[in-house]
A and B are shown apart, each in its own frame.
Chain A
Amino acid sequence: MSEPAATRPAVRVSGLTKRFGAFTAVDDVSFDVGMGEIFGFLGPNGAGKTTTIKMLTGLLHPTSGTAEIAGLSILHDLETLKSRIGYMSQLFSLYADLTVEENIDLFAGLYGVRGRRFEERKAWIVEMAGIGEHVGRLTADLPLGFKQRLALGCAVIHGPPVLFLDEPTSGVDPVARRRFWDLIFDLSKAGTTVFVSTHYMEEAEYCHRLALMNRGRLIALDSPATLRGSMVEPLLELRTDDAPHAVEVVKGLSGVLEASMYGRALHVLVADERAATPVLSEALAGAGLTLRSLRRIEPALEDVFVARVRAAGGVE
């Protein structure tokens, strides 16, 4: 995917920090997001993704640092800022006891979308979410995929230049997820900057750029392709009859940087492919394990992240 030209960043985060007592949830994070970019935010649970998004949307006050969104400071221009951003959280947060239409009316009203523009936006949401036949139904009774598309529609009812999505697709099936992402692509094409956190790797691939967070810190920031290419060490896929046992054996061997299970296989990151092959076979044979296959593979994003997170000190 091509990177859109960014003249002025849509989001500029500088030194953003949030502490809860002694615990530092977000630790001195800085980055820029370009206009119209789909910016992915990845990391294990508790890495500080949600806290960062909450600070950027004004739901939390940063302990220190600041950020500018569409040229407006989250510290000083919050009131104006609110009408320039959209937000959708991992919790489905429309009113379950209101109908689809009543939810749309409510958020349109809160964002001051009225008159002809309101009619247009409403029609657009109904069409894009595919909920034409459900407008009179209680939101509680909709399937999850519909709910999520409706929530997205309500979040962008005022056409905000920047949209924040906090794990928007958790819990929906792959088809609905793909449909949701088509909507994100449309928004991005229309010029909306989309800031999305996720822990689905296939979703990460859809992003123009990815930021990886761990323990409150930003540990990687680049396009998916560059990140994949950044892993220069060879990655080997190893199959045996007892993967859990094999991990124990392989870990700590000289020349082995990383070993982790992927399904029933092992992914082993080594310093030098030629030197490592005999070492691995010997060690496995010594432990009474049969080596079924051993081959070099292209790293997936997941491998990159596992390696990065471990290199950065592992998960808490």
Chain B
Amino acid sequence: MTRLSPFRIRQIVRKEVRQLLRDPRSRPILFVAPVVQLLLFGYAVNTDVRSTPLAVLDLDRSAASRELVDELVAAGYFETVIQADRPRELVEALDRGQALIALEVPPRFSRDLASGRGAAVQLLVDGTDSNTGTIALGHARRTILAYSLEKGGLGESLAIGPRLEPRAWFNPSLESRVYNVPGVIGILILLMCLLLTSFSVVRERELGTLDQLRVSPVKPAELILGKTIPVAVVALIDLALITAVGTAWFDIPLKGSPLVLLAASLLFILSGLAAGLLISTVSKTQQEAFLTMYLVLLPSIILSGFFFPIHSMPELFQWVSFLNPVRYFLEIVRAIFLKGAGPVVLWPQFSALLILGTAGIAVAIRRFARSIA
């Protein structure tokens, strides 16, 4: 094995950069799209359930019933979108999805309340969105319980029993955005790496230019390096852009060291590039590469703990997720951003990324060298 030639690597890098930047239509994909996606994710990926549309059927129309509805709306969890006159309208509102929760106050509500017999209200919840349903139901029950205790003169009775004092660290207001935005960084970097490398080899093979490179003295490893270095640089620029927008626009704190973040990103990018190159090497056509990319992309997002907690998954998937570099990167990114953690705490995740990244690149280069030898 002769030594790699930095000069030849530079030739390939220059060619790749020129091709990447040549098409004016692809430039926004490199640098603008990730930021747009971050904004989209930052606003859309929001699991805080607020302003749930509420339909109200108040058959009592008393001061007491209005007070109850006001209590529900006041906390900001609900927003009355429909004032119904008949039970049928409540059903329709839920069927059509205009309201996700419905409150029915019976005609004798205030009388029952005053008489001390105990009043009842009915809550109808649309369970199709189980997430919103669960959380909204919890909010409603808590509000009604508080109302009930107050009306029953039992406001202090719970003070004498044992009680829970929850305190959330790192994100006291428990805003989901603070949790989600750092995660988005990982997803977007993975997406960029895959988008830019999955086609790089298979495209040249389809166009015939790969053979022209293969008859030249350029070595497979030089070719791979030349093709991946520009992508890594693009990914790092995107990282900086997204981090800047995330901290400046969404006020996400970056408590840890940017250098540790950079180091982790480099390791993570290595895995992303390896995956992209492997896809590109095993695919015969670009279409195939594209489908394979999806086949890789979706499970890596789902099994990363980005939206869905890993510890709630079936055991098998928890095991599979140990092979997913995204999982480790998200743990690192969140810990760096929100907890200010450093390598002392994060060394297991760093080692996992290092192992997966180097093993991945080694396999990709081997597979590539074999496919063109």
Contacts and interface: CB of A to CB of B under 8 A. Distances in A.
The short answer to whether A and B are in direct contact, CB under 8 Å, is: yes
A41 interface: no
B2 A85 contact: no
Nearest to B209: A93
Contact of B215 (A85, A95, A109, A138): A85
Interface stretch (A54-62, A206-214, A227-235): A54-62
Nearest to A166: B211
Given A98-B15, A98-B18, A98-B19, A110 B209 contact: no
Contacts of A154: 212
Going nearest first, the 5 A-B pairs with the smallest beta carbon separation are: A109-B11, A91-B208, A93-B208, A87-B215, A93-B212
B320 interface: no
A102 B15 contact: yes
Interface string B210-254: 011111111100000000000000000000000000000000000
B203 to A, nearest CB: 11
Interface residues of B, number: 26
A137 B215 CA distance: 25
B50 interface: no
B15 A106 contact: yes
A24 interface: no
Nearest to B373: A61
Interface string A86-105: 11010111111110001001
Interface in B1-37: 2, 5, 7-8, 10-12, 14-15, 18-19, 22-23
Given A93-B211, A97-B19, A107-B212, 18 more contacts: A59-B215, A79-B2, A83-B217, A85-B215, A87-B211, A87-B212, A87-B215, A91-B207, A91-B208, A92-B208, A94-B212, A95-B15, A98-B22, A106-B11, A109-B10, A110-B8, A110-B213, A111-B217
A134 interface: no
A139 B12 CA distance: 18
A4 interface: no
* B8, B212, B218, most chain A CB atoms within 10 A: B212
A71 interface: no
Given A98-B18, A109-B10, A110-B11, A93 B207 contact: yes
24 contacts: A61-B373, A79-B2, A79-B217, A79-B219, A82-B217, A85-B215, A91-B207, A93-B207, A93-B212, A94-B212, A97-B19, A97-B23, A102-B15, A105-B11, A106-B14, A106-B15, A107-B216, A110-B8, A110-B217, A110-B218, A112-B7, A112-B8, A112-B217, A114-B7
B209 A95 contact: yes
* B8, B15, B19, B373, most chain A CB atoms within 10 A: B15
B305 to A, nearest CB: 39
Interface of A: 54, 57-59, 61, 79, 82-83, 85-87, 89, 91-98, 102, 105-107, 109-112, 114, 138, 154
In terms of DSSP, what is the predominant structure of the interface of chain A? loop
In terms of DSSP, what is the predominant structure of the interface of chain B? helix
A91 B15 CA distance: 20
Interface in B324-368: none
A98 B19 CA distance: 7
A110 B373 CA distance: 17
Interface in B305-328: none
Contacts of A114: 7
Contacts of A83: 217
Nearest to B215: A87
Given A89-B208, A97-B22, A109-B7, A58 B215 contact: yes
B338 to A, nearest CB: 43
Given A93-B209, A95-B19, A57 B217 contact: no
B200 to A, nearest CB: 13
Interface string B60-77: 000000000000000000
* B5, B18, B208, B217, most chain A CB atoms within 10 A: B217
Contacts of A95: 15, 19, 209
Contacts of B10: 109
Contacts of B208: 89, 91-93
Contacts of B5: 112
B211 A82 contact: no
A93 B296 CA distance: 31
B344 to A, nearest CB: 45
A291 B215 CA distance: 56
Nearest to B2: A79
Contacts of B2: 79
